[in-house]
């Protein structure tokens, strides 16, 4: 007979866990388990005596970069300056350089990429963070040309961090007048300018801006002016400065003016042959009225101006009256108050100064701005901001704006530069000589060019 084996019941026994159990709330037991686990690890480490000791403690990234640097194989030629680079580094950042390397051509001779800028960019590619601590216009332009999005983003942040005040923005606008391809930069700088508008109009630097910059400037909703006619005269002065070279800019510049904010008397003078009250701009206006869409511009302006004139006493009714005619409401400028301006009239946020402003009145005001020290927060107030006196501003703010505004005026004292203000004085004599066909004002304005700002700027 077979012997019966003793069969025991099978029982599931839980495995003992030495590591920490998040579900176990018994602290003492958990600590004991942790101690035992630690002891086991130390015991196993003691048994294994063969450890690999790394003598080179450099970071992996540094080792890789040193290897790349030691095996440079690509030459980039920028404006005759040769840079020995590594194709891996270039291809990691620049889309344009990838395309150029595929074609086997890495030779650049363009104003968009300067050798100094490329040197900074290549150092930035290698991780030298200190090479770009502030906004650099040449680096910004080069980064855009080479299509390096990471660097462009960094440049935009540095520009925002700069927190430019109005005169700083205009100074940078002047420096970038030859940078025609970066319109978004010009737009950002123009939007920083508001209460200093008329002071900028009176400066010779305004006359040297590029067509794109002037067009964006005159289109801005943030311009603080006494009248839209100031914007109109500023555009005419810019065109006259290099006339007839700027014939091709007449449409783009003068279409930036909002003629609906100008008085009907002024609008009627466009079609007259006798324009003695609006300055020596007959040849420019003759070309302007020949543009294909001029008739529509004038008709819309005449209607809008007449509606504005009728609603001077009831500005709240303006939008309702325009809605009946299906005409769009023009975006207003930042209408301002300067008690020194002889042609200033009471205005509100939606209804501007609709009085006629003669050329002589305009240049007299420009002459005043060039010769008097103007603190924009003291002398100029926009109607959309609360009224305040000098006491509301800190001494530091007053000194800052006074210094900056005087910097533009100080340029008029430079013997190598003929300012708009100096031309203004002689334009009175030019007005009396116009009937004899003398163009004294034109000659004076044209002679304002110097070696630094030659006709090749544009």
DSSP 15: P
Phi and psi (nearest 5°) for 177? -65, -25
Mean pLDDT value across residues 183-196? 89
Neighbours of 135 (CB within 10 A): 18
pTM: 0.69
| Measured distance between the N- and C-terminal CA atoms of the chain, rounded to whole angstroms | 118
For 51-83, how does the pLDDT look when each residue is reduced to its tens digit (9 = 90+)?
Answer: 555 555 555 556 556 655 555 567 888 888 888
Q: What is the distance between the alpha carbons of residues 281 and 289, in angstroms, rounded to a whole number?
A: 12
Residue 408 has pLDDT above 50, yes or no: no
Tell me the H-state helices in 258-412: 264-268, 282-288, 294-310, 318-325, 359-371, 376-379, 395-410
Q: List pLDDT tens digits, range 156-174.
A: 888 888 778 888 889 989 9
User: Quick one: average pLDDT of 253-278?
Assistant: 85
Tell me: pLDDT of 287 over 50.
yes
> Are 132 and 154 a contacting pair, CB within 8 Å?
yes
Residue closest to 237 by CA, chosen among 458, 405, 444, 456:
444
């703010």: which residue's tokens? 397
> Which tens digit of pLDDT belongs to each residue from 118-131?
999 888 887 776 77
Contact 150, 134 (CB under 8 A): no
| Closest C-alpha to 367, from 425, 407, 412 | 425
Instruction: Return the CATH fold of 72-163.
Output: Potassium Channel Kv1.1; Chain A (3.30.710)
CB atoms within 10 A of CB 117: 21
Omega of the bond leading into 284 within 30 degrees of 0 (cis): no
Query: Residue 390 — pLDDT band, cuts 50, 70, 90?
Result: very low
| 3-state DSSP assignment of residue 323 | helix
Computed over every residue of the chain, the mean pLDDT equals: 74
Instruction: Tokens 């009728």: give the residue.
Output: 310
| pLDDT, tens digit (0-9, with 9 covering 90-100), for 352-375 | 888 889 999 999 999 998 888 777
Q: Of 310 and 258, which is predicted with more confidence?
A: 258
Asked if the model's pLDDT at residue 200 lies above 90, the reply is yes
The residue ranges of every structural domain in the chain are 16-41, 72-163, 194-458
Instruction: Provide the pLDDT confidence category of residue 326 given band limits of 50, 70 and 90.
Output: low
Q: Any residues with CB less than 8 A from the CB of 321 and at least 6 apart, and which?
A: 307, 310, 311
- What is the pLDDT at residue 391? 37
Buried b / exposed e over 288-297, threshold 16 CB at 10 Å, is beeeeebeeb
Residue of higher predicted confidence among 196 and 1: 196
Task: Quote the pLDDT of residue 72.
Answer: 56
Stretch among 83-92, 253-262, 362-371 having the lowest mean pLDDT: 83-92
Which pair of tokens denotes residue 292? 């294909």
Nearest alpha-carbon partner for 350 in 304, 385, 322, 315: 315
Could you give the CA distance from residue 9 to residue 6 in angstroms, rounded to a whole number?
10
The model's confidence at residue 249, banded by pLDDT at 50, 70 and 90, is very high
CA angle, residues 414, 419, 424, in degrees to nearest 5: 140
Specify the pLDDT at position 229.
Answer: 93
Between helix 137-146 and helix 95-103 the angle, nearest 10°, is 50
């Amino acid at each position: 007979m077979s012997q019966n084996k003793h069969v025991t019941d099978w029982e599931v026994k839980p495995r003992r866990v030495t590591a920490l159990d998040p579900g176990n709330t018994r602290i003492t037991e958990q600590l004991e388990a942790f101690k035992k686990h630690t002891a086991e690890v130390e015991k196993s480490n003691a048994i294994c005596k063969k450890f690999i000791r790394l003598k080179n403690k450099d970071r992996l990234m540094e080792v890789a970069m040193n290897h790349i640097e030691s095996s440079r194989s690509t030459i980039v030629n920028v404006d005759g300056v040769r840079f020995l680079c590594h194709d891996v580094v270039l291809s990691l950042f620049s889309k344009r350089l990838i395309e150029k390397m595929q074609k086997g051509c890495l030779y650049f001779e363009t104003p968009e990429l300067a050798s100094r800028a490329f040197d900074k960019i290549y150092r930035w590619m290698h991780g030298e963070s200190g090479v770009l601590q502030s906004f650099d216009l040449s680096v910004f332009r080069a980064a855009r040309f080479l299509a390096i999005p990471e660097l462009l983003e960094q440049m935009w942040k540095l520009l925002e961090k700069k927190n430019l005040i109005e005169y700083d923005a205009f100074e940078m606008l002047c420096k970038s007048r030859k940078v025609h391809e970066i319109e978004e930069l010009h737009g950002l700088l123009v939007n920083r300018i508001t209460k200093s508008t008329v002071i900028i109009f009176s400066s010779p630097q305004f006359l040297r801006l590029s067509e794109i910059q002037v067009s964006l400037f005159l289109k801005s909703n943030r311009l603080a002016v006494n009248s839209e006619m100031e914007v109109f005269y500023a555009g005419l002065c810019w065109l006259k400065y290099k006339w007839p070279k700027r014939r091709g800019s007449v449409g783009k510049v003068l279409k930036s003016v909002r003629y609906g904010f100008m008085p009907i008397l002024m609008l009627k003078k466009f079609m007259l042959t006798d324009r003695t009250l609006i300055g020596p701009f007959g040849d420019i206006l003759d070309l302007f009225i020949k543009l294909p869409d001029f008739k529509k511009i004038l008709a819309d302006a005449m209607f809008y101006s007449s509606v504005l004139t009728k609603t001077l006493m009831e500005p709240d009714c303006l939008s309702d009256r325009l809605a009946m005619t299906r005409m769009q409401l023009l975006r207003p400028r930042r209408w301002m108050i300067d008690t020194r301006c002889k042609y200033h009239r009471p205005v509100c946020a939606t209804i501007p100064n609709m009085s006629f402003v003669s050329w002589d009145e305009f240049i007299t005001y420009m002459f005043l701005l060039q010769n008097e020290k103007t603190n924009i927060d003291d002398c100029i107030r926009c109607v959309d901001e609360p009224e305040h006196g000098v006491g509301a501003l800190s001494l530091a703010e007053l000194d800052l704006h006074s210094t900056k505004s005087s910097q533009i005026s100080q340029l008029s004292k430079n013997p190598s530069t003929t300012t708009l203000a100096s031309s203004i004085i002689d334009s009175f004599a030019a007005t009396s000589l116009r009937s004899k066909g003398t163009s004294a004002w034109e000659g004076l304005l044209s002679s304002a060019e110097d070696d630094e700002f030659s006709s090749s700027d544009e």
